[in-house]
Amino acid sequence: MEQRTATEPDTALTSDRLRVVTAVLAVACGLTVANLYYAQPLLDLIAHSFHVTQGTATLVVTFTQVGYVAGLVFVLPIGDLLENRVLVTRTLVATAAALLAAGLAPSFGIFLVVAVLVGLTSVVAQILVPLAAHLAPEDERGRYVGRVMSGLLIGILLARTVASLVAHVFGWRAIFIVSAVLMIALGLTLHRVLPRREPDHTAGYANLLASVGRLVRAEPVLRRLALCQATMFGAFSAFWTAVAYELIADHGFGQVGIGVFALVGAAGAMAAPVGGWIADRGWGRPARAVVLGAAAAAMVLAGLGRHQLILLALAGVLLDLAVQSHQVMSQQVIYALQPSARARINTVYMSTTFVGGAISSLAAGLLYDSVGWTGVTVYAALLPLAGLVVWLTDRATPN
């Protein structure tokens, strides 16, 4: 396979510049990944607007995540082929166009198609995370990736709050149009701030995609950590997809109330740097077992405390802390496997994760329609327990 010498930006960055770039990457990840979650608290409004059932409206979340998986599989690997700054800025233009189309969609069918495109192009966040790993000093990789992942999680959590508040004032379509403008502004900012990074893979796109399959076969650690994170993100997606319906039905919440409730998970952003610090010290393996158990416990708490708002909030905080910690600790391990293939490694890891999320979003809608909140939480609790079984049988992951 033909290779060229990679242009590694970390050698050209001072510590002060690295901190600035890391902060910009964190904000960029947050803004782009937020596109995947704007619809979650708006499903009731979307259902009424397009005259579909609540269960049908959850297809918006599923289709967005399916699009994101497609982006992870077919777009993210290009981060190991094309200069990263150019790839990111061009993709953001496509993201802006997709978001504008979402805000103007005249029918539910068209909105679902556009939701796939929003997910497909919002993969920019996952192009930037491996770039952060390239920029960081090797012995501090977990900490720097954790900082960027903090921005990503804040984006996920604030997306629900911001979408709810904007919808309350301007209607549910407005958030997509606002985000389209933000994507253009973000593209211009990243073009100015990001250092150039020319990857070392030159054998072409088809060979690049084929090498993703070879990575899956060659790296059992990657397979196991990706599967475990899929169970965690599945629980996360099930909870946050259905909780808006539960807040409306059982607690009489409106859009503002749902938006305020979404802030409870913001504590999860604190877990990213801590998770990176733990991983850098080689304690990731036992810590991952702890957070898998914590995610299951969070869903038990959410089920038993459905009529107590404070218990639902505590469940959301604990779940987000667990999911975020597991992801950062796992990424510290997988990014060390093959440094020249970090974008493709992220393809395997995150596509597996979001397949779990897409399946669980769909399952949450079906379960909520048929058996209610209890069915959703039982299902969500079983997922991290399955991940814990995978962890118990893992003897290959070093830390």
Report the C-alpha gap between 75 and 104 in whole angstroms. Answer: 25
User: Is 80 exceeded by the pLDDT of residue 203?
Assistant: no
Overall average pLDDT of the 369-377 stretch: 93
Looking at per-residue pLDDT, the higher value among 244 and 296 belongs to 296
Report the C-alpha gap between 93 and 81 in whole angstroms. Answer: 19
Taking only the tens place, the pLDDT of each residue in 9-24 is 444 567 778 888 889 9
Taking only the tens place, the pLDDT of each residue in 258-313 is 888 877 766 666 666 677 778 777 777 888 999 999 999 999 999 998 889 999 99
At 121 the pLDDT is 95
Overall average pLDDT of the 373-396 stretch: 92
Q: What is the 3 state secondary structure string of the chain?
A: CCECCCECHHHHCCHHHHHHHHHHHHHHHHHHHHHHCCCHHHHHHHHHHHCCCHHHHCHHHHHHHHHHHHHHHHCHHHHHCCCHHHHHHHHHHHHHHHHHHHHHCCCHHHHHHHHHHHHHHCCHHHHHHHHHHHHCCHHHHHHHHHHHHHHHHHHHHHHHHHHHHHHHHHCCCHHHHHHHHHHHHHHHHHHHHCCCCECCECCCHHHHHHHHHHHHHHCHHHHHHHHHHHHHHHHHHHHHHHHHHHHHHHHCCCHHHHHHHHHHHHHHHHHHHHHHHHHHCCCHHHHHHHHHHHHHHHHHHHHHCCCCHHHHHHHHHHHHHHHHHHHHHHHHHHCCCCHHHHHHHHHHHHHHHHHHHHHHHHHHHHHHHHCCHHHHHHHHHHHHHHHHHHHHCCCCCCC
At 3 the pLDDT is 47
**With bands split at pLDDT 50, 70 and 90, how would you rate the model's confidence at 341?**
confident
Taking only the tens place, the pLDDT of each residue in 142-154 is 777 778 877 887 8
| Location of structure tokens 């399952």 | 363
Sign of the C-alpha dihedral computed for residues 207, 213, 217 and 222 taken in this order: positive
Report the C-alpha gap between 177 and 199 in whole angstroms. Answer: 34
| Location of structure tokens 């496509």 | 94
Burial class of residue 148 (count of CB atoms within 10 Å of its CB; 0-12, 13-18, 19+): buried
Report the C-alpha gap between 155 and 36 in whole angstroms. Answer: 10
| Cβ-contact 158, 29 below 8 angstroms | no
At 393 the pLDDT is 87
Overall average pLDDT of the 56-77 stretch: 89
Q: What's the distance, CA 335 to chain centroid?
A: 17
Angle at 206 between CA 205 and CA 212, to 5 degrees: 90
User: Is 90 exceeded by the pLDDT of residue 379?
Assistant: yes
Q: Among 2.30.30.760, 3.40.50.1980, 1.20.1270.10, 1.20.1250.20, name the CATH number for the domain at 9-392.
A: 1.20.1250.20
Overall average pLDDT of the 375-387 stretch: 96
User: Is 90 exceeded by the pLDDT of residue 81?
Assistant: no
Looking at per-residue pLDDT, the higher value among 248 and 282 belongs to 248
Number of C-beta neighbours around residue 366 at 10 A: 15
Q: What percent of the chain has pLDDT over 90?
A: 46
Considering the chain, what is the average pLDDT of its residues?
A: 86
- Calculate the CA dihedral of residues 356, 357, 359, 360 and round it to 10 degrees: 110
